[in-house]
Amino acid sequence: MDAILATGIQALTGIASLLLVSLGLAIVFGMMRVINLAHGEFLMLGAYSAILAVEAGVNLWVAMLVVAPVCVGLLGAVVERLVIRRLYGRMVDTMLATWGLSLALIGAVTMAFGNSVAGFSAPLGSVQIGAYSTSGYGLFLIGATVVLLLAVWMVLRFTPVGLIARGTMQNAGMAAALGVPTERVYALSFAAGAAVSGLAGALMAPFSGVVPTMGTAYIAKCFITVITGGAAMLAGTATAAGLLGSVNTIGTFAFTPVLGEVLMLGVAIVLLRLLPQGITGRFFRRAL
Amino acid sequence: MERRRAAFQSGLAVFAAAVAAWWLPQVLELFSIINATVYTAMAVLALSLALVWGFGGILCFGQAAFFGLGGYAYAVGALNVGDTTWAIPIALLVPTLAAAALGYVMFYGRISDVYMGVITLTVTLILFNFINSTAGEEWRIGAAPLGGFNGIPATPPLNVPGDPGTPLTPEQIFVVALACLAGCYVLCKLILRSHFGRVVVAIRENELRASLLGYDVRLYKLGIFTIGGAMAGLAGMLFANCVFVSPTMFSLAYSGQIIIWVMIGGVGTLFGPVVGAMLLQALTAWAGTLPDINPNLILGLVLVVAVLAIPRGLQPTLAGLLRRREAP
Amino acid sequence: MTALLATENLTMRFGGVVAVDGVTLSIGERELRCLIGPNGAGKSTFFRCLTGQYRPTSGRVLWRGRDIVGLEPHAIARLGIGIKTQVPSLFDGLTALEGVALGVRRLHGEREARRRALAALDRLGIADLAGATVGLLAHGQRQLVELATVVAPEPDLIILDEPTAGMSAEETAGTAALIREMSRDHAIVVVEHDMQFIRAIAETVTVLHQGRVLVEDTAPVVLSDPRVHDVYLGRPPEARQAVPA
């Protein structure tokens, strides 16, 4: 019983992390159809801003939950202004430009902080479940992911801003014709996506260790998750994260972490072969 | 007219390669010769993506995967076979098969352009992670240990065919590389002039129309993608002959660079990407000598600026400028 | 005699919407058939089921008696069916001659393909556009280039989806004459909603309404049928029958 519970928590942690790191990308892709290849670096910058804040004496929780999303959100706003806005509707060019940005950010951070691993250890110690112990921080991560997901859903579902966002997502041309400032909606969405990524990066930092190239470790997983999810950004990303996260965890337990990832990619490719529009192209079509 | 121009350009390319093969070994030091070979290998790599992306319209973010596979297949083959001449077909075959398999999944799975970019990227990353994790003794293929993040430092160079005891000198390898570059350029020209090549270009222009005319779009895409994979594998084999193979060959930075070369040189041209590869290699090398600047920063900024400022690339932009000057 | 192309109970559903509802029709060799109906009648969906772009929910499409449902668009084209889409679908980066020749090249050698492509352009009166880049042409010219692309490989059946959309009255008249001329050697299906155009070319007309065949007869009969007028004016056709004539 305890063993099952402990393993279950382990798997849930895996799913939650996957969902967490993918959510920012999902928001940007779902709202704007922009594939942001600098997403991994947004995660990385979230982690670094949290570390710097902690080193400057800021409380750990404030650093992770406030400083990181604000910093990366601001950066997202700047990037949107300087690069993304000029390339709307040119999907491939946007991919190229954000990839350039990704390389540049890796380079800049390497110059500033060097190649060594930084980080802080997970707070909250461990929790005892019968004979097994599990990390308290892992449990916090699961909770934080659920709260974040619910928060985004409630903003989209119940607020006026959310209504405008959903309208733009469904039919940008019509929304613009009805007087919605789509440019501002896009700018806001990109900044919001960046902020969520920053938060995710900071929350993942105790797990992964922080290096300038940490984004590249995540980016493949994030893309596969978002794309397997399909059009509905929250429901899709959540179901895809659930499915792929489980596969990854099982693969990691049974073989090695690398094989876990290979297995996950394999499942994703098979899924895309069967459902070219992603999971929500077929199921939960009316979900958000 | 069109045919004569293509023949002229091919002839010019062969001539330029011959001159470089005769002249450069006389004036350059050994170190520079090896560097020039690396540049040449990169130019072949650039050509491979110029063909797949510029003419096939398939944006492959994972061209480095085939480059790395070619290099590793060569190294593993060479260590096992002894006579490294026989490692060449292996180095071509492995990436060709990999490209064919990946292409089959993507094109026959009707995966859209953007997802295709993401899938090629992901496959490359996975390969990178996988090769990096092969450090232990249990990871070996025949006589060749894969070596994890260290790669295979003992990658043997090509030898005189049939004589495993006599490896080629760096100058000779440089000549081989130049011959490969010129050969690939001419091959690209021939492909584009053939019926197959024209259908590939037509598919880039309009997939629906091509299929309504009775052409199986998937098959043609698979064809050009596989040829591109083989060419990238050849580049990897050449690269393995001047440096040695290591997981960085699969890295995102490499995949990124290839796209930058083609982008800067001009999507839809052949000569542009070759020049782009040489220019950016020189830029990267120069950036590497700057004490406090990370080359990734420069490469990244170049790409962003290029997308925003010269989205058509150097060759078309320059050609456009020239034409405007000629016209009154 | 088996028909060249026939459909049997062809049905296409999108979720709860039945866009094409049990359509059965047959087209013989060298027949010129018009398929008309108001917007939303299911013409375009029917068209896409024929060309393989959609896979019908049920029913069969028979080419010389052989079921071709499930074939890829390119395989259907290879049977000898030339297709012109509603929005001109062309190779914008190529010249008109290159694009037209490409379709013929699948069947003939290089030189012959060029010759036939030029002949097709000439037949449509646009031989002077042979060297022009297609992407730079005006809409009416693009329609003609696409017609040339479709006709040049000499398919047994030509399916035209709204060939006169966006054409001037003069161009429309020219196209009508052209279609009549082409119908001497090819079977042709024209999907249209322009009644004037139908009047100019049609022999047999099939009217689709709400995914079903409303009426099928010779052009004069169909065009004077009050039910057809009703559906075009948005009235339910049954309403008329209740009123004694």
Q: Write the DSSP string, B191-210.
A: HHHSHHHHHHHHHHH-HHHH
Contact B206 C110 (CB under 8 A): no
What's the pLDDT tens digit per position in A64-119? 888 889 999 999 999 998 888 888 777 778 888 888 899 899 988 888 887 777 76
C-alpha span between B260 and B309 (Å, rounded): 14
Q: What's the whole-number mean pLDDT along residues C3-17?
A: 85
C-alpha span between B36 and C149 (Å, rounded): 48
CB B57 within 8 A of CB B204: yes
Any chain B CB within 8 A of the CB of C73?
Answer: yes
Q: Is residue B325 scored above 70 in pLDDT? A: no
- Report residue C245's pLDDT band, with 50, 70 and 90 as the boundaries: very low
Q: Is residue A175 scored above 60 in pLDDT? A: yes
Taking alpha carbons only, the member of A235, A244, A231 closest to residue A270 is A244
Beta pairing, strands C32-36 & C17-27: unpaired
Contact B114 A95 (CB under 8 A): yes
**Helix (H) or strand (E) run with residue A219 in it:** helix A214-229
Three-state DSSP class for residue A133: strand
Beta pairing, strands C66-67 & C58-63: antiparallel
What's the pLDDT tens digit per position in C188-243? 998 887 777 887 777 788 888 888 888 888 878 887 888 877 777 666 655 544 44
C-alpha span between B15 and A141 (Å, rounded): 63
Written in H, E and C, the secondary structure of A141-203 is HHHHHHHHHHHHHHHHHHCHHHHHHHHHHHCHHHHHHCCCCHHHHHHHHHHHHHHHHHHHHHH
Q: Is residue B2 scored above 70 in pLDDT? A: no
C-alpha span between B15 and B279 (Å, rounded): 21
Best mutation target among B195, B207, B212, B216 (most C Cβ atoms within 10 Å) is B212
Burial of residue C169, with CB atoms counted within 10 A of its CB: 0-12 exposed, 13-18 middle, 19 or more buried? exposed
C-alpha span between C210 and A63 (Å, rounded): 62
> Which positions ≥6 away from A110 have C-beta within 8 Å?
A212, B294, B296
Tokens 């962003």 — which residue? B304
DSSP B51: I
Other CB atoms within a 10 A radius of the CB of residue C90 amount to 24
Residue C134 forms part of a structural domain: no
Best mutation target among C91, C106, C156, C157 (most B Cβ atoms within 10 Å) is C91
C-alpha span between C24 and A127 (Å, rounded): 70
Of C78, C99, C110, Cβ closest to residue B214: C78
Q: Is residue C180 scored above 80 in pLDDT? A: yes
Q: How far is B208 from chain C (nearest CA, A)?
A: 7
Tokens 């024929």 — which residue? C50
Three-state DSSP class for residue C5: strand
Q: How far is B27 from chain C (nearest CA, A)?
A: 44
Q: How many residues does chain A have?
A: 288
DSSP C189: E
How would you label B60-96 residue by residue, b for 16+ Cβ within 10 Å and e otherwise?
bbbbbbbbbbbbbbbbbbbbebeebbebbebbbebbb
Residue C143 forms part of a structural domain: no
Instruction: Report the pLDDT value the prediction gives residue C236, as an integer from 0 to 100.
Output: 63
Best mutation target among A32, A99, A252 (most B Cβ atoms within 10 Å) is A99
- Report residue B254's pLDDT band, with 50, 70 and 90 as the boundaries: confident
Q: Report CA torsion sign: B190, B192, B197, B200.
A: positive
Instruction: Report the pLDDT value the prediction gives residue C242, as an integer from 0 to 100.
Output: 43
Amino acid identity, residue C53?
Q
Q: What's the whole-number mean pLDDT along residues B185-213?
A: 92
The DSSP annotation for B120-147 comes to: HHHHHHHHHHHHHT--STT-EETTEE--
Residue C23 forms part of a structural domain: yes
* Structural domains counted in chain C: 1
Q: Is residue B328 scored above 50 in pLDDT? A: no
C-alpha span between B311 and B321 (Å, rounded): 15
Instruction: Report the pLDDT value the prediction gives residue A211, as an integer from 0 to 100.
Output: 86
Q: What's the whole-number mean pLDDT along residues B207-232?
A: 93
Q: How many CB pairs under 8 A join B and C?
A: 64
What's the pLDDT tens digit per position in B9-38? 888 888 888 888 788 877 778 888 888 899
Contact A261 B129 (CB under 8 A): yes
Residue of higher predicted confidence among A259 and B201? B201
Q: Is residue C110 scored above 90 in pLDDT? A: no
Range of the domain at A164: 2-214
CB C243 within 8 A of CB C230: no
C-alpha span between C119 and C127 (Å, rounded): 8
How far is C-alpha A273 from the geometric centre of its chain's CA atoms?
24
Q: Looking at chain B, which residue has its C-alpha nearest residue A94?
A: B307
CB C36 within 8 A of CB C215: no
Q: How far is C41 from chain B (nearest CA, A)?
A: 24
Of B204, B205, B214, Cβ closest to residue C77: B214
Residue of higher predicted confidence among B263 and C168? B263
CB C76 within 8 A of CB C51: yes
Q: Which residues of C touch B209 (CB under 8 A)?
A: 89-91, 99, 149
- Report residue A285's pLDDT band, with 50, 70 and 90 as the boundaries: low
C-alpha span between B312 and A90 (Å, rounded): 13
C-alpha span between A174 and A172 (Å, rounded): 6
Other CB atoms within a 10 A radius of the CB of residue C156 amount to 17
Residue A222 forms part of a structural domain: no
- C95, two tokens: 């010249």
| Domain ranges within chain B, ordered by starting residue | 2-253
C-alpha span between C131 and C120 (Å, rounded): 14
Taking alpha carbons only, the member of C75, C64, C104 closest to residue C187 is C64
C-alpha span between C92 and B45 (Å, rounded): 29
Highest mean pLDDT among A129-138, A261-270, B38-47: B38-47
C-alpha span between C105 and A141 (Å, rounded): 62
Contact B212 C89 (CB under 8 A): yes
Taking alpha carbons only, the member of C216, C238, B118, B302 closest to residue A36 is B118
Any chain C CB within 8 A of the CB of B193?
Answer: no
Here the ipTM equals: 0.85
Q: Is residue B324 scored above 90 in pLDDT? A: no
Q: How far is A158 from chain B (nearest CA, A)?
A: 32
Range of the domain at C11: 1-80+157-166+187-240
Residue A282 forms part of a structural domain: no
Least confident of B293-297, B304-308, C112-116, C231-235: C231-235
Any chain C CB within 8 A of the CB of B1?
Answer: no
Instruction: Report the pLDDT value the prediction gives residue A282, as an integer from 0 to 100.
Output: 65
Instruction: Report the pLDDT value the prediction gives residue B39, as an integer from 0 to 100.
Output: 92
* Structural domains counted in chain A: 1
Contact A96 B263 (CB under 8 A): yes
C-alpha span between A121 and A207 (Å, rounded): 8
C-alpha span between A144 and A16 (Å, rounded): 9
Contact B297 A223 (CB under 8 A): no
Other CB atoms within a 10 A radius of the CB of residue C6 amount to 18
Contact A223 B295 (CB under 8 A): no
Residue C95 forms part of a structural domain: no
Highest mean pLDDT among A230-234, A271-275, B109-113, B302-306: B302-306
Contact B126 A104 (CB under 8 A): no
Q: Is residue A239 scored above 60 in pLDDT? A: yes
- Report residue C141's pLDDT band, with 50, 70 and 90 as the boundaries: confident
Of C77, C91, C110, Cβ closest to residue B202: C91
Instruction: Report the pLDDT value the prediction gives residue C28, as an integer from 0 to 100.
Output: 86
Residue A88 forms part of a structural domain: yes
Beta-strand runs (E) in chain C: 5-14, 17-27, 32-36, 58-63, 66-67, 81-84, 157-161, 187-192, 204-209, 212-218
Instruction: Report the pLDDT value the prediction gives residue A200, as an integer from 0 to 100.
Output: 92
Three-state DSSP class for residue A261: helix
Q: Report CA torsion sign: B208, B211, B216, B220.
A: negative
What's the pLDDT tens digit per position in C21-47? 888 888 888 888 888 887 777 888 888
Tokens 């990390």 — which residue? A135
Taking alpha carbons only, the member of C114, C83, C102 closest to residue C186 is C83
Residue C228 forms part of a structural domain: yes
Contact A265 B123 (CB under 8 A): yes
Q: Looking at chain C, which residue has its C-alpha nearest residue B218?
A: C74
CB C143 within 8 A of CB C88: yes
Least confident of A141-150, A166-175, B63-72: A166-175
Contact C106 B214 (CB under 8 A): yes
CB B220 within 8 A of CB B203: yes
How would you label A270-284 residue by residue, b for 16+ Cβ within 10 Å and e otherwise?
ebbeeeeebbbeeeb
Residue A268 forms part of a structural domain: no
The DSSP annotation for C60-95 comes to: EEEETTEE-TT--HHHHHHTTEEEE-SS----TTSB
Q: Looking at chain C, which residue has its C-alpha nearest residue B195?
A: C105
Q: How far is B212 from chain C (nearest CA, A)?
A: 5
Three-state DSSP class for residue A56: coil
How far is C-alpha B78 from the geometric centre of its chain's CA atoms?
21
Residue A246 forms part of a structural domain: no
Least confident of A43-52, B148-157, B166-175: B148-157
Q: Which residues of B touch A95 (CB under 8 A)?
A: 59, 114, 117
Contact B216 C74 (CB under 8 A): yes
Of A93, A103, A258, Cβ closest to residue B307: A93
Q: Looking at chain B, which residue has its C-alpha nearest residue A100?
A: B300
Q: What's the whole-number mean pLDDT along residues A3-20?
A: 81
- A73, two tokens: 């959100």
The residues on B that touch A, with CB distances below 8 Å, are 59, 61, 105, 109-115, 117-119, 121-123, 125-126, 129-130, 133, 252-253, 256, 259-260, 263, 292-308, 311
Beta pairing, strands C204-209 & C212-218: antiparallel
- Report residue B236's pLDDT band, with 50, 70 and 90 as the boundaries: very high
How far is C-alpha C86 from the geometric centre of its chain's CA atoms?
9
- Report residue B95's pLDDT band, with 50, 70 and 90 as the boundaries: very high
